[in-house]
Amino acid sequence: MSTLNQGDQTIDRRSLFKVGGIGIAAAFAPNVLTSQHAEAAAISNKLWIPPKISGKTFNLKLANGTKQIAKGALTKTYGYNGTGFWGPSLFMNKGDEVTLNVTNGLSESTTTHWHGMHLPAEMDGGPMQEILAGKTWSPKFKVMNNAATFWYHPHMHKTTQKQLALGAGGFIFVRDSIESALALPRTYGIDDIPLALGSRTLSSSNQIGTTTIYGDTMLTNGVANAQVDLPAQYVRLRLLNIESERAYNLGISDGRKFYVISTDGGLVDKPIPVKKLLMVPGERYEILVDLSNDKIGSTISLRAFNKGLTFGYGGSEPAKSGDFGSLLNNVDFDVLKIKVTKPISTGISSLPALLTKNVFPVKSQASKARAIAITDNGPGTPFTFDGKSYSMDYINQHVKLGATETWTITNDRVFGHSFHIHDVQFKIISRSTGPIPAHENGWKDTFSIQPSEKVTFIAKFEDYASSEWAFMYHCHMANHEDGGLMGQFLVEK
Ligand SMILES: [Cu+2]
């Protein structure tokens, strides 16, 4: 494909990038959004911690709800189990046989996907497992994943962006014997904090924009201007990007070092010190932040250092309004204000030296090298894989059960994407643009792929085969997947 052959989205974005800037942004900044943003920010809000559900049977009901997000009118939302925005956290143990009863209380279809989990394709909750309005879907599976932070969210083709924007989603915590044996912060909501990060656009009547790409109001677990009290010890933050497109270049406001202990699918071998962590939609990291030397009563923030973000990452565009603009684009902003409080008796005051011993597949074990390109079908068309828009009736890839494969994803378009594959956790083995960042050396299911970049990962496709039910691979930018940037693969005997 020639470089002229770009979709509408990229043309708009490119021209916007060229002509954008402070002058244009100021001239077009709509007063209503500015005041709305200010009102939302004016509410000083305690971080909301989703309720916890443990056991082997999990009952979820997705329904319409409301939430006081900004001053004035309640915001209409979608939430599981009456939570308003963002559902209960499901605590599962590795090895358990679990049943999830998901009831659709909406007046439209949905699906529920268990993001990052290794399970039969029929139980996966992709676009094929539609739950009609009023119906209940009851998948069952054995929890095979290592301890890590996973999540559930709708995956209904063409309405994923809308349902996710309105707040449908929740965390899954998997626990196992290796993680449980470590001295890590583990008191839910006290020193072990799940953080779903997603900006949303609010209308003048406080209603969420369901097709907007970037929000003007930062919501952390659905809370604007979120604040939390954390003990003066090591605290564990479980970070998840629930944006349509925005990336977060996360750091601590005073620039201190923190430690990655888990990637998408499990613990890393040992804590990895970082000062910044760039996260695209769908990615998770668990981090430890050392607050043991902070004065009781002092404050710091978890901050998105998004000013100067490289073009290609969502939210790097300088415009403050318009299709690819936002008040949060290309600026630094806080995602969580932290007040340091006194230590707790179960708290952790030192960093474990070792966490686990991962054994990743290696290239010599791979029986197939697969190549997939991010494409589009000409000006004005959405992104596609290998020139084909998603179709439920088309199988893009056939994988042999038990095979170890390398997949190389190529992005020669002008903007970045967030690549995600179902069924497996993989290891990134090369990035054409430079060395693999230290914190990406772990089990992953989602990664950033930037313009003019090729990324190769290796994975073993084991345990579950079906000639009928496919798994998905797709861009996790919700508007891109709804637009057709998805493919299907069968794992077959
Ligand atoms: Cu994309």
Element (H, E) at 178: helix 177-180
Q: Are residues 212 and 292 in the same domain?
A: yes
Q: What amino acid occupies position 379?
A: P
pLDDT of 6 above 50: no
Tell me what pLDDT residue 78 has: 98
Residue 133 belongs to domain spanning: 47-177
Identify the CA nearest to 369 among candidates 411, 395, 404, 402: 404
Q: Are residues 293 and 431 in the same domain?
A: no
pLDDT of 301 above 50: yes
Instruction: Let me know if residue 9 belongs to a domain.
Output: no
Q: How many angstroms separate the alpha carbon of residue 69 from the centre of ligand 1? A: 28
Q: Read off the CATH number of the domain in which 321 is found.
A: 2.60.40.420
Q: Are residues 151 and 207 in the same domain?
A: no
pLDDT of 46 above 90: yes
pLDDT of 34 above 50: no
Instruction: Let me know if residue 27 belongs to a domain.
Output: no
Average pLDDT (76-101) is: 98
Q: Are residues 311 and 221 in the same domain?
A: yes
* Domain tally, the chain: 3
Tell me what pLDDT residue 37 has: 53
Tell me what pLDDT residue 249 has: 98
pLDDT of 22 above 80: no
pLDDT of 399 above 70: yes
Q: How many angstroms separate the alpha carbon of residue 372 from the centre of ligand 1? A: 14
Q: How many angstroms separate the alpha carbon of residue 61 from the centre of ligand 1? A: 29
Q: How many angstroms separate the alpha carbon of residue 182 from the centre of ligand 1? A: 37
Average pLDDT (395-402) is: 98
Q: Whole-prediction pTM value?
A: 0.92
Q: How many angstroms separate the alpha carbon of residue 444 from the centre of ligand 1? A: 17
Tell me what pLDDT residue 316 has: 97
Q: How many angstroms separate the alpha carbon of residue 362 from the centre of ligand 1? A: 28
Tell me what pLDDT residue 474 has: 98
Average pLDDT (279-306) is: 98
Tell me what pLDDT residue 443 has: 98
Q: How many angstroms separate the alpha carbon of residue 112 from the centre of ligand 1? A: 20
pLDDT tens string 161-199:
999 999 999 999 999 999 999 999 999 999 999 999 999
Q: How many angstroms separate the alpha carbon of residue 475 from the centre of ligand 1? A: 4
Beta-carbon-side half-sphere exposure of residue 391 (alpha carbons within 13 Å): 8
Average pLDDT (32-36) is: 40
Q: Are residues 326 and 385 in the same domain?
A: no
Q: How many angstroms separate the alpha carbon of residue 31 from the centre of ligand 1? A: 30
Tell me what pLDDT residue 44 has: 60
Q: Determine what percent of the chain is predicted with pLDDT higher than 90.
A: 89
pLDDT tens string 66-88:
999 999 999 999 999 999 999 99
Instruction: Let me know if residue 187 belongs to a domain.
Output: no
DSSP codes of every residue in 292-344: TTSPTT-EEEEEEE-TTPPBTBBT----SSSTT--TTTTSEEEEEEEEEE---
pLDDT of 396 above 60: yes
Q: How confident is the model at residue 43 (pLDDT cuts 50, 70, 90)?
A: low
Q: Are residues 335 and 382 in the same domain?
A: no
Q: Are residues 246 and 273 in the same domain?
A: yes
- CA end-to-end span of the chain: 35
Q: How many angstroms separate the alpha carbon of residue 443 from the centre of ligand 1? A: 21
DSSP code for 145: S
pLDDT of 31 above 50: no
pLDDT tens string 361-370:
999 999 999 9
Burial class (CB in 10 A: 0-12, 13-18, 19+), 486: buried
Q: How confident is the model at residue 377 (pLDDT cuts 50, 70, 90)?
A: confident
Q: Are residues 268 and 390 in the same domain?
A: no
Q: How many angstroms separate the alpha carbon of residue 318 from the centre of ligand 1? A: 19
pLDDT tens string 426-481:
999 999 999 999 999 999 999 999 999 999 999 999 999 999 999 999 999 999 99
Q: How many angstroms separate the alpha carbon of residue 418 from the centre of ligand 1? A: 6
Q: How many angstroms separate the alpha carbon of residue 382 from the centre of ligand 1? A: 10
Average pLDDT (266-273) is: 98
The pair of structure tokens assigned to 271 is 């804590």
Among 341, 371, 395, residue at a domain's last position:
341
Q: Are residues 263 and 204 in the same domain?
A: yes
Q: How many angstroms separate the alpha carbon of residue 181 from the centre of ligand 1? A: 38
Q: How many angstroms separate the alpha carbon of residue 235 from the centre of ligand 1? A: 33
Round the average pLDDT of the chain to a whole number and report it: 92
Q: How many angstroms separate the alpha carbon of residue 35 from the centre of ligand 1? A: 31
Average pLDDT (29-34) is: 35
DSSP code for 139: -
Q: How many angstroms separate the alpha carbon of residue 256 from the centre of ligand 1? A: 32
Q: How many angstroms separate the alpha carbon of residue 486 from the centre of ligand 1? A: 9
Q: How many angstroms separate the alpha carbon of residue 305 from the centre of ligand 1? A: 22
Q: How many angstroms separate the alpha carbon of residue 378 from the centre of ligand 1? A: 16
Tell me what pLDDT residue 5 has: 29
Instruction: Let me know if residue 30 belongs to a domain.
Output: no
Tell me what pLDDT residue 42 has: 47
Q: Are residues 327 and 424 in the same domain?
A: no
Q: Are residues 393 and 468 in the same domain?
A: yes
Q: How confident is the model at residue 134 (pLDDT cuts 50, 70, 90)?
A: very high
The pair of structure tokens assigned to 480 is 């891109």
Average pLDDT (120-124) is: 98
Tell me what pLDDT residue 477 has: 97
Tell me what pLDDT residue 444 has: 98
Q: How many angstroms separate the alpha carbon of residue 384 from the centre of ligand 1? A: 9
Q: How many angstroms separate the alpha carbon of residue 477 from the centre of ligand 1? A: 5
Instruction: Let me know if residue 17 belongs to a domain.
Output: no
Q: How many angstroms separate the alpha carbon of residue 40 from the centre of ligand 1? A: 29
